[in-house]
Amino acid sequence: MGGEIGVTSTVGEGSEFFFSLPLEAEAAAPAAPRARPDATPVAIATAGSATRIVLDEGLRGAGLRCLPEPMTAVPGEADWIVDASKLVRLGARPAGARRVIAVAAMGDPTGGQALDRRLADTLLRHPLVQSEWRPALERLVTGDAFEVPTATAERAGAGLPQFTGARVLVADDSAVNREVACEALARLGVTAATVDDGRAALAAVKAEAFDIVLMDGSMPDIDGFEATRLIRAHEAAAGGRRTPVVALTAHVVGGGAEAWRDAGMDGVLHKPFTVAKLAECLARFVSSSEAPAAPLVAAEAPAASPLESDALLDSGNLAQLEDMAGSSGREFIVRVLGLYVDHAPKALDELSAAVAATDAARVAPAAHSLKSMSLNIGAAALARRLAAIEGGARDGGDVPSADDLAGIADLLERTIAALRGHFALPPEAKAA
């Protein structure tokens, strides 16, 4: 581009980055209108410091009075510029708000959620660009109504491929995991059928033609791997089409991580998965082709696995849940957290019973079950502890002590409290 870029650095002092670029000056922009002295003030409630500076300078330059945070400390009527995530978590417009502008990053689903739920009148994306900020500023000055974005790009699910009409079966013994998978599929235009064990999955495939089966590996009675072997045997005997089966598994290392290949599955999605990875999976297998596709190996576990984190909660997982929520927003979060609150203690009871019986063969699947749903809900520290228990039971026949279980119970209680706090839910929140 005819310019230059470089850096100078001194050890112990720091670095200086620079660039130069020859540009032609545009014609001067027309002067922005000035607000009247009695114009409605504007409250700014956005976490981004750079965004706040741009907003503050623009508002003051137009003669508008800026009000400080917090959201509850603004007296009387005001226009608001608020992070979309704050609006969605609050579930209501700020008190006394005349008009509300939501601010969200490109691709952040809370922007579309705030508009869909009428928590905001319009949306700005950051980093802010003058072509979007200037028209909004002019309306703040003049008091004119905002033009609500109507493009599909501003709506939940925008930019994601849609597989409307695809026949998808989700087989998982965890109600939490089924809920998460179905919500993610809904973002892709799919209404899935569900079963809670391998035997039911086999019966469903025999009774109905599915485009793809998303199969949990560890399930009671008949697990997902054995169910897939039986499905392949049925297809061979009946001479029917091969149904793509993709493993949904929390096994990322060890023998369990490769069991899907031996079972005749076509690929693997590691929990917790993203909507984007699920979309890649559907795009690979949901087609009119009858020939077996090459195994899907693109959907590997993320580089920064929650099992390698030191945090109580995994922020990446929590962001994925919010992304999966789409336009259902808070309702999905309340529902899936309520399921976790109901089912995690039951899974812990099963683990406790297995430990009391000193039965390592029961300890491993019980720990795995609680670990799997914990991974999907973002409970990183709990999942990490359970992974260690599961591994010890599977590999060495180890059974945890009573003290270990007491620590797990305490960690579960702290995790649930932290999840409720993160999603701004009251302590007694339950699934509807």
Q: What is the pLDDT of residues 163-210, one digit of tens each?
A: 888 999 999 999 999 989 988 888 888 888 999 999 999 999 999 999
- pLDDT grade, residue 428 (50/70/90)? low
The CATH number of residue 67's host domain is 3.40.50.2300
- pLDDT grade, residue 311 (50/70/90)? confident
For residue 300, the model assigns a pLDDT of 41
| Residue 431 placed within a domain | no
Taking a C-beta distance cutoff of 8 angstroms, is the pair 398, 392 a contact?
A: yes
Nearest to 46 by CA among 138, 114, 148: 114
Q: What is the pLDDT of residues 325-372, one digit of tens each?
A: 655 556 778 888 889 999 999 999 999 999 999 999 999 999 999 999
Indicate whether 132 and 218 sit together in one domain.
no
For residue 193, the model assigns a pLDDT of 92
| Residue 97 placed within a domain | yes
For residue 106, the model assigns a pLDDT of 61
| Residue 16 placed within a domain | no
- Choice between 244 and 131, residue whose per-residue pLDDT is larger: 244
- pLDDT grade, residue 251 (50/70/90)? low
Q: How far apart are CA 236 and CA 229, in angstroms?
A: 11
Nearest to 374 by CA among 334, 428, 319, 317: 317
Give the domain-ending residue among 276, 301, 326: 301
State whether residue 67 is helix, strand or coil: strand
Indicate whether 217 and 132 sit together in one domain.
no
| Residue 20 placed within a domain | no
Indicate whether 174 and 259 sit together in one domain.
yes
For residue 89, the model assigns a pLDDT of 81
Residues 6 or more apart whose Cβ sits within 8 Å of residue 315: 378
Neighbours of 427 (CB within 10 A): 8
Indicate whether 333 and 418 sit together in one domain.
yes
Indicate whether 78 and 138 sit together in one domain.
yes
Indicate whether 51 and 86 sit together in one domain.
yes
Nearest to 89 by CA among 424, 427, 419, 338: 424
| Residue 309 placed within a domain | no
For residue 330, the model assigns a pLDDT of 65
For residue 124, the model assigns a pLDDT of 87
Indicate whether 54 and 90 sit together in one domain.
yes
Indicate whether 175 and 292 sit together in one domain.
yes
The DSSP string of 196-229 is SSHHHHHHHHHHS--SEEEEES--SSS-HHHHHH
Indicate whether 210 and 263 sit together in one domain.
yes
State whether residue 189 is helix, strand or coil: coil
Indicate whether 271 and 331 sit together in one domain.
no
| Residue 374 placed within a domain | yes
What sign results for the dihedral spanned by CA atoms 55, 57, 58, 62? positive
Q: How far apart are CA 62 and CA 137, in angstroms?
A: 8
For residue 432, the model assigns a pLDDT of 40
Percent of the chain with pLDDT over 90: 33
Indicate whether 247 and 340 sit together in one domain.
no
- Choice between 138 and 127, residue whose per-residue pLDDT is larger: 138
The DSSP string of 24-66 is PPPPPPPPPPPPPTTPPPEEEE-S-HHHHHHHHHHHHHTTPPE
| Residue 357 placed within a domain | yes
Residues 6 or more apart whose Cβ sits within 8 Å of residue 309: 380, 381, 384
- Choice between 316 and 212, residue whose per-residue pLDDT is larger: 212
Taking a C-beta distance cutoff of 8 angstroms, is the pair 51, 126 a contact?
A: yes
Q: How far apart are CA 95 and CA 78, in angstroms?
A: 9
Indicate whether 290 and 346 sit together in one domain.
no
Out of 126-135, 208-217, 274-283, 302-311, the most confident range is 208-217
Q: How many domains does the chain contain in total?
A: 3
Percent of the chain with pLDDT over 70: 82
Q: Report whether pLDDT(149) > 80.
A: no
Q: How far apart are CA 338 and CA 252, in angstroms?
A: 27
- Choice between 133 and 30, residue whose per-residue pLDDT is larger: 133
Amino acid at 289: S
Give the domain-ending residue among 242, 267, 301: 301
Tokens 């109901």, residue? Answer: 342
- pLDDT grade, residue 240 (50/70/90)? confident
Taking a C-beta distance cutoff of 8 angstroms, is the pair 269, 281 a contact?
A: yes
Q: Report whether pLDDT(290) > 60.
A: no
| Residue 4 placed within a domain | no
Rounded to a whole number, what is the distance in angstroms from the first to the last CA of the chain?
58
* Residue range(s) defining the domain that contains residue 392: 318-422
